[in-house]
Amino acid sequence: MTVGTFKYTDFSELDSSVIRAAYYNADDSSLAIVFKNSATYVYNSVPYRNFSELIDSASPGREYASEIKGVFPSRYRTALFGLKFEPVEKEPFAEISDPEELPVQRYLIKGFVPASYEVSETSVEKAVERFKSAIAQLGYTDTDVIVKEVTIKFE
């Protein structure tokens, strides 16, 4: 039995042991989470950032439990079963003959710049600072660089 329809602007199937998919509606900031057991929970007033972090998370189940469940208001008091999902229909762009007339859109592009740096230093903190200093010479800032691993080389 279908209980209604959730219109979405963004969608992602998730590689999770508990969550099957997440649907987001940017028009009203609502988020629908579909679990592997087909239960669906719908939340209101969810910023896009939370949807993005959920679908990018290494553990969507943990991200949901800590950052969404109990944090945002639930649209319904219980899980829904049989909720249908439909994409929001967008107006097609009118024919534009002049490329300068194209609408400007904001894009978030995520990337990873692999880098390594071998240094001799008295502490890991000093070694990381020298690494960041070397990366800065290439034009990167502290916010561009996330140090994911530091290993000690024994010679």
What is the model's pLDDT at position 98? 66
Average pLDDT score, the chain: 82
Domain that holds residue 140: 111-155
95 inside domain: no
Domain count for the chain, please give it: 2
Choice between 155 and 34, residue whose per-residue pLDDT is larger: 34
What is the model's pLDDT at position 95? 64
What's the whole-number mean pLDDT along residues 109-114? 58
Token duo for residue 109: 């592009």
| Residue 147, SS3 per DSSP | coil
Residues 32, 67, single domain; the answer is: yes
72 inside domain: yes
Task: Pick the range with the lowest mean pLDDT from 46-60, 66-80, 105-119, 132-146.
Answer: 105-119
d(CA 25, CA 10): 7
What global pTM score does this model have? 0.59
77 inside domain: yes
146 inside domain: yes
92 inside domain: no
Residues 80, 139, single domain; the answer is: no
99 inside domain: no
Task: Pick the range with the lowest mean pLDDT from 78-92, 100-114, 140-154.
Answer: 100-114
134 inside domain: yes
Strand partners, 32: 23, 42
Residues 53, 124, single domain; the answer is: no
Task: Pick the range with the lowest mean pLDDT from 52-56, 60-64, 114-118.
Answer: 114-118
Percent over 90 (pLDDT), the chain: 47
